[in-house]
Structure 1
Amino acid sequence: MLYFGGFFGVLALGLWLFCLIDVITTDDGDARNLPKVAWLLVVLFFPLVGSITWLVAGRPVRAVARPRAHERAAPGFPEYDRPGRSAAVDAEADAEFLRRCRERAEEQRRKAREAGGERG
């Protein structure tokens, strides 16, 4: 019976330390129901009850768990993922657009060469 009490004490101490560190490392605005300082005092002065209460009512809810290192995808390009972004669906229209872009670029280069030749 003495071993069970010692085991329970070590378990309660571990829970208290975990919750104490968790309260301290939580951002000020993320704690629920009470300000962070109040949660710190509750966990400090009421170790077992305060720790359980912190876990149930005070700890921030993490909406999305962080992926593990091997599950992380390569960083993408968010400008391509935004809703409403148009993508080429017609190959002919896309080719026509690119042809017009090349023609416009050539026209701008020609004008720049002509303007440069007139100055010199």
Structure 2
Amino acid sequence: MIRLLPGVIVFLLWAYCLVDAIVSDQSRVRHLPKWVWIVLVLLFPLVGSVAWLVAGRPGTPARLTRERGAAPGFPEYERPGRMAASDPAKDEEFLRQVRERAEEQRRRYEAERRRKAELEGDGEGTPEA
């Protein structure tokens, strides 16, 4: 019975690592593609399993990442490199539109503030800046 214990332990480790490699998110697997890790674990049960645990397994589960502040339910926020500009010309156009909209809002606010000041009876010209 004792002689079977190492084999049972290796089998359980192998089964755990195989299932873990299969269900892990492709984008979170480290160092090698997911399919390579699965093949390594399948072909080399002990060495592949230990290598998966040490070098391939994702560091923190996605569930823990979300609990630490990432927006749940929005995987686009969890992708690396998501803030990279894809077309600088479109970015410049967008920023120009944002500036124009902000300037228009500032003008409307100033006009509204002047109108309110005149209605309140300042009457001494323009309100304080």
TM-score, L = length of structure 1? 0.50
- Structure number with larger C-alpha Rg: 1
Larger RCO, structure (CA 8 Å, separation 6 or more): 1
TM-score by length of 2: 0.46
